[in-house]
Structure 1
Amino acid sequence: MQTDQAFTFVLFGGTGDLSMRKILPGLYQAHRDGVLGKAGRFIAVARAAPDREGYLDWVNSHVRSHVPKAAFEDEAWQSFLERFDYVRLDATNPEDFHKLARAVGSGEGVRVFYLATSPSLFVPICRSLADNGLSERARVVLEKPLGYDLKSSRAINDAVGEIFAEEQIYRIDHYLGKESVQNLLALRFGNVMFEPLWRREWVESIQITIAEKLGVEARGDFYDKTGALRDMVQNHLLQLLSTVAMEPPLSMDSESIRKEKLSVLRALKPLPLNDISKVAVRGQYTSGVINGQQVPAYRDEQEVPPDSNTETFVALKAEIENWRWAGVPFFLRTGKRLAESKAEIVVNFRPVPHSALGPSVLQTVGNRLVIQLQPQESIRLYCLAKQPGPGMQLQSVHLDLEFDEFLKSSRMEAYERLLLDVIDGRLALFVPRDEQEAAWRWVEPILEEWSRPEKSPKFYSSGTWGPAAASAMLAKHGTTWLEEEN
C-alpha cells in the first residue's frame, strides 16, 4: 500500500499525548517504509511550543520512545522531521487561523486535518477552516469519543456536516486498522470451512475483551468526564462486535462493509430498562499491586474527585436479534488496572452433541477460536487430540497463525494503515455517522441508569480481573472468562 499523491497533513493537538504515542510514530513508520509520497508535507498545530525548533525538540523528547527500536533509523528520523512545519495557534481563536491558511497555501493535493483534540473543539476548528478557505480538497479526521451521548454526538455531526460532506469525514477507530481484525475478515470470508460454523447453531458464546494494566495516568480530568463506557464500549468494543458478527459483504469496498456492520448494530437487542444490572457491570479500581508496585485507587488519581462514581471497568452482555445470531450471548469487557494488558476475541463453539470418547471437561476448551489483537497479533484454533499412550485420553492442542513468525513480512501498525487510508481516500475502516449513532443509541440506557447519583460502581482491586459480578454474569450462562478457565 503506497501513496504517491501530493498532500498536506495538518495535525491539531500536535503536542498532545495521542500525537506523541500514536499519530507521529505512525506517520514516521510510513515515511521510513517509503509509502508516503515525497510531495507530502506535515504541519503541526499547537500552543505549547513557541516555534518550529521548539516543536521539533518536543517531538525528539516525547516521540522517539514510542517508536519500536527495530523501526528507528537516525537518517529516516531526521528526514522525517525535515518534512514538518509548525504553526502556533489557539484553536478557540478564529483570528489565528490566518496563520494556518498562509502555511497551508494553495498547493496541489489533498488537505488532511487531523483533530487530535477535545471533541468540544471539533466544531470551532471546522468552522475556522471553512472561514479561511481551507475546506476545499479537504478531509477531516475526528478522534473518539465524538460527544458524550447521542444528543451531543448528533450536534457535532450536524455542525461538521454543514462544512464537510460525509465522504470527507473520517471518524477514526484504530482497532479497525489492526492486522488481526483484517485477518478476521480474511478468515471468515476467504475460507469455506469457517463460514458454515459462524452462526448460532455452532457458536455457544463470544467474548470480546480490551484490558489495560495502566490506570488513568495524567488524564484524570478527561477520563472522569468520560468513563470506560464512552471511552471504549461505544466505539472500540461495538466496532469489534459488528466486525465479528457482520454478514458477508458483496465486496470489500467501504459501502458494502459499512452496510453490513450497520445492520448488526441496528439488530442489537435493546437493553432491559427495568434492570440494567442484569446485563451490565460497572466497576472502579481501588489500590493494589501492578508489576510489584503499589498503585493508587482511582479516586486518589490526579484531577479525580475523591467521591467520583466514574467507571473504570465495564462488562456487558449483548444479543443480536437476527437469523444468524439469535440466542448467542456476546460478552464485552474492558477496564483499567486489570491483571494483564490484552485485547482479544474468543469464539466458543458448542461442544459435540454426543461424545463417543466419553465425558470430558475439555470439550469446550477444545472447540474455540482465539483472535488476539494485542500485545501480539495472532489467531489460535483450539481442538482436541489424543494423548500418546494407551487409552483414549484427550488433551487440548492448538493451531497457530503467529503473524510475525509465519508471514515474515513487516507488519503495518494500525495508525500507519489508517493514516495512509485517509490520504488515499479509503473509507472502509472508518466509522460512518449512522453506525456511530446506532452505537450511542444502544448504550444510552446504561448512561442514563449510571448517571443516577445513588448508583455507585462495584469496586475491584488493581491487578485483578475486575468485580466478581462480571464473572457471576457469565456463570449464569454456564461459562467463564477465558483466563478464569485456564
Structure 2
Amino acid sequence: MQPLVVIIFGGSGDLTKRKLMPSLYMLFKREELPEHFAILSIARTSFTNEEYRKHIREHLRKYTKTEEFNTEYADNFLKSVYHETLDPSSEDAYPALKKRLDELDNTIDNPGNYLYYLATPPVLYETIPLLLQKAGLNRPTEKKPGFKRIIVEKPFGHDLESARHLDHIYTSIFDENQIFRIDHFLGKETVQNILALRFANVVLEPLWNRNYIHHIEITAVENMGVEQRGGFYDQTGALKDMVQSHLLQVLAVCAMEPPVSFDADSFRNEIVKVYQSLKPMTPKEIRSQVVRGQYTASDAGKKHFSAYRQEEKVDPHSRTETYVAMQVNISNWRWDGVPFYIRTGKQMPTQVSEIVIHFKQTPHIMFSSLTHCPHPNRMIIRLNPNEGVVFTLSMKIPGSGFNMGEVPVEFTYDSLGGVPTGDAYARLLEDCIQGETTLFTRSDAVEASWRFLDPILQLWAQDPKIPLYGYPAGSWGPGAADRIIREEGTWTNPCKNLTKTNLYCEL
C-alpha cells in the first residue's frame, strides 16, 4: 500500500476518541494500514504532539477490547499520530495545515495521498470542503499526484433542500469517487451477512417476497440517553439521526433485488431502487402511520432516569423526538402489500438492533386436533449484540395427541470458534483507504431518502397538534405506537440475549 496521511477534523471530539482512533489502531495491529502512514488531528483544543498521544492512549485503553489492547502496539501506533491546533472553520488556518502536510509527506515519503475525515458538528460539513478547495487540497496536483478522499458522517443534510445544497458543494469540489458518505451500519458484518443469507441460499430467496412474508419489523434501540450530545441531538432528533440513515439502509438491504455482482455500482443501484420505491405518505397516513415520542423522567428499578428536557444543552421546552415508530410500504412487484414496521428510540430497556421477518400463516388447519393454525414461522436477524440468526419452526411436541410447539433453529457468530465479527468503523476505514465505495452511500440514495421523509418533517413543523408522546425512560416507548402494528399483532420487544429467550430475558 502507498503511504497515507489521515487528517481528522475534530480530533479532540468524542467520535475520534471512541471510534476512529480505536479502529485505526486495530487496522495498524492487523497490519492493514500502509507501512508508512501518519494521522493528523485538527482541532481548536490545544495539545502538543506528546500531550495528544497521551490523551489518545488513555482512550485506546478505555475503548479497545481488553484482549485487543497491547501496550507495545499502542506505543508504536501513537508514534505516527500528530496534532495541530487549528480552527477548521477559519480560512487563515489552511496555509498552516498545508505546511504541516508537506512536512509529514517528507517524513513518510507520501506523494500527497490524503484521507480527510469530518468528525465535526454538521455545521462544518459545508465549510471545510470549501476551505480545502481554496487551499488546493481537494484534488491531485503535479507536485502532489496522490489521491484525495473525504469521509462525511451522517446526517448529510437536515432535509431534502439542504441535502441537495450540500451535495452540490461536494460534487463541485470532489468527484463522486472521492466522496465517502459513511453509515457504520453498513460496515457491520451482520448487515452484510443479510446479502449472503438471502442470495447464497436457494431455500430462502424464493420465499423472500409478498407471497410468503406477512410483515417485517426493524428495531434499533438504545438503553441510554443523549449523553454529551444534547446540543447536536436537540437540533436533529430520531427521524434524522437514525431513520434517514441507519434504518432505511437496513430496510433497503432487506428489500433490494439481487445485484448482478457485489461491486460498488451494482450494489448501490439496487439500494437506490428500493429508496425510489418507498411509497410517499399523505398527511392522513403520516398522522396514522408515524408516532413520535420523547422520554420522560422515571425510576426503573433502583435507578433514576432524567427526562430528555433535563439533559445538558437541551431546550427545557424541546419538542425533539427521541423515539419514532412508523409503517413503511414499498411499491414494487416483490413487496407490494407487505408492511415494514420500523422503530428507534433512546432510553429503551435494552440496546438491540434486529430484523424480524414474519412469514405468512399456513393456509389450512391440517390436523383435526388443532383449533388454530400453528404459529407462523419467524426469522430473527440480530445485528447486535449477540449477532446471529434464529428461525422458528412449528414441530409436534412429543407425547400423545398432536400438540404443536415452536422450535428455534439457531446460529450465532460466537459459535464460529472465536472468529470476530469485526468493527464496523475499522472495516469502512479500510475500504476507504483502498478506494472501495460499495458500502458507502451514494448521492442519489441520500436524496431519495430525504424525499421520502421530507413530508413528515414538514407536517410536524406545520401542525403543532400532532402529538409528541411522552414515555417513561426504561420503557418500550409510547403506547400509541402499538396502534401502528395492531393489525399484525404486537411489536416484538427483543431481549439482549438472542437465544434461549423461552428460558430467560436479559435486558
TM-score (norm 2): 0.92
332, 335, 345: which one aligns with 1:322: 332
Deviates more, 1:152-161 or 1:430-439: 152-161
* Counterpart mapping for 1:260-409 below 5 A: 260-290=270-300, 292-357=302-367, 359=370, 363-364=374-375, 367-406=377-416, 408-409=418-419
- Provide the C-alpha distance between the structure 2 equivalents of 1:319 and 1:200, rounded to a whole number of angstroms: 12
Deviates more, 1:85-94 or 1:55-64: 55-64
Distance 1:321 1:49, change over 3 A: same
Contact kept, 8 Å, 1:384 with 1:394, in 2: the verdict is yes
Is 2:75 the counterpart of 1:65?
no
Residues 48-85 of structure 1: per-residue CA shift (max 9 Å, x gap): 13221221222133342111112111111111111111
For residue 168 of structure 2, what is the aligned residue in structure 1? 158
Q: 1:13 deviation in Å?
A: 0.8
- Provide the C-alpha distance between the structure 2 equivalents of 1:402 and 1:26, rounded to a whole number of angstroms: 24
> Which amino acid letter does the alignment assign opposite residue 115 of structure 2?
V
For residue 465 of structure 1, what is the aligned residue in structure 2? 476
For residue 83 of structure 1, what is the aligned residue in structure 2? 80
Q: 1:441 deviation in Å?
A: 0.6
Q: 1:419 deviation in Å?
A: 0.3
For residue 443 of structure 2, what is the aligned residue in structure 1? 433
Q: 1:408 deviation in Å?
A: 3.5
- Provide the C-alpha distance between the structure 2 equivalents of 1:350 and 1:90, rounded to a whole number of angstroms: 57
Deviates more, 1:22-31 or 1:230-239: 22-31
- Provide the C-alpha distance between the structure 2 equivalents of 1:111 and 1:413, rounded to a whole number of angstroms: 23
* Counterpart mapping for 1:145-224 below 5 A: 145-224=155-234
Residues 193-238 of structure 1: per-residue CA shift (max 9 Å, x gap): 1100000000000011110010011211111100000000011110
46, 49, 57: which one aligns with 1:49: 46
- Provide the C-alpha distance between the structure 2 equivalents of 1:207 and 1:167, rounded to a whole number of angstroms: 33
> Which amino acid letter does the alignment assign opposite residue 122 of structure 1?
Y
Contact kept, 8 Å, 2:53 with 2:82, in 1: the verdict is no
- Provide the C-alpha distance between the structure 1 equivalents of 2:60 and 2:77, rounded to a whole number of angstroms: 12
- Provide the C-alpha distance between the structure 2 equivalents of 1:278 and 1:410, rounded to a whole number of angstroms: 42
Q: 1:456 deviation in Å?
A: 4.0
Consecutive unaligned residues in structure 2, runs of 5 or more? 140-146, 495-500, 503-507
Runs (4+) of structure 1 moved beyond 3 Å? 289-292, 357-364, 452-456
Contact kept, 8 Å, 1:49 with 1:58, in 2: the verdict is no
> Which amino acid letter does the alignment assign opposite residue 128 of structure 1?
L
Deviates more, 1:47-56 or 1:334-343: 47-56
Contact kept, 8 Å, 1:290 with 1:339, in 2: the verdict is no
Residues 311-351 of structure 1: per-residue CA shift (max 9 Å, x gap): 00000100000000000000010000111110001111112
Distance 1:410 1:339, change over 3 A: closer
Deviates more, 1:405-414 or 1:17-26: 405-414
TM-score (norm 1): 0.95
Deviates more, 1:316-325 or 1:354-363: 354-363
- Provide the C-alpha distance between the structure 2 equivalents of 1:132 and 1:36, rounded to a whole number of angstroms: 27
> Which amino acid letter does the alignment assign opposite residue 461 of structure 1?
P
Q: 1:40 deviation in Å?
A: 2.2
- Provide the C-alpha distance between the structure 1 equivalents of 2:373 and 2:224, rounded to a whole number of angstroms: 33
For residue 30 of structure 2, what is the aligned residue in structure 1? 33
Deviates more, 1:382-391 or 1:256-265: 382-391
108, 111, 115: which one aligns with 2:114: 111
- Provide the C-alpha distance between the structure 2 equivalents of 1:20 and 1:449, rounded to a whole number of angstroms: 38
Deviates more, 1:333-342 or 1:47-56: 47-56
Is 2:236 the counterpart of 1:226?
yes
Report how many aligned residue pairs link the two structures. Answer: 481
> Which amino acid letter does the alignment assign opposite residue 352 of structure 1?
T
126, 137, 140: which one aligns with 1:134: 137
71, 74, 83: which one aligns with 2:71: 74
Contact kept, 8 Å, 2:364 with 2:373, in 1: the verdict is no
SS at match of 1:459: strand
- Provide the C-alpha distance between the structure 1 equivalents of 2:15 and 2:247, rounded to a whole number of angstroms: 19
Q: 1:355 deviation in Å?
A: 3.1
Deviates more, 1:421-430 or 1:91-100: 91-100
In percent, how many aligned pairs have the same letter?
A: 40
- Provide the C-alpha distance between the structure 2 equivalents of 1:309 and 1:417, rounded to a whole number of angstroms: 36
127, 130, 151: which one aligns with 1:124: 127
Residues 404-431 of structure 1: per-residue CA shift (max 9 Å, x gap): 2225323321111000000001111000
- Provide the C-alpha distance between the structure 2 equivalents of 1:319 and 1:292, rounded to a whole number of angstroms: 41
- Provide the C-alpha distance between the structure 2 equivalents of 1:248 and 1:196, rounded to a whole number of angstroms: 12
Q: 1:273 deviation in Å?
A: 2.0
SS at match of 2:304: strand
- Provide the C-alpha distance between the structure 2 equivalents of 1:193 and 1:229, rounded to a whole number of angstroms: 35
Contact kept, 8 Å, 2:12 with 2:43, in 1: the verdict is yes
Q: 1:290 deviation in Å?
A: 5.0
CA RMSD of superposed structures (Å): 1.7
Consecutive unaligned residues in structure 1, runs of 5 or more? none
Distance 1:360 1:451, change over 3 A: farther
Contact kept, 8 Å, 2:238 with 2:324, in 1: the verdict is yes
Q: 1:388 deviation in Å?
A: 2.3
- Provide the C-alpha distance between the structure 1 equivalents of 2:45 and 2:15, rounded to a whole number of angstroms: 15
Residues 69-127 of structure 1: per-residue CA shift (max 9 Å, x gap): 12111111111111111111101111111222122225226311000112221222112
Q: 1:399 deviation in Å?
A: 1.7
- Provide the C-alpha distance between the structure 1 equivalents of 2:84 and 2:372, rounded to a whole number of angstroms: 63
Contact kept, 8 Å, 1:213 with 1:290, in 2: the verdict is no
- Provide the C-alpha distance between the structure 2 equivalents of 1:124 and 1:197, rounded to a whole number of angstroms: 48
Distance 1:478 1:359, change over 3 A: farther
Q: 1:438 deviation in Å?
A: 0.4
For residue 497 of structure 2, what is the aligned residue in structure 1? none
> Which amino acid letter does the alignment assign opposite residue 479 of structure 2?
A
Distance 1:371 1:17, change over 3 A: same
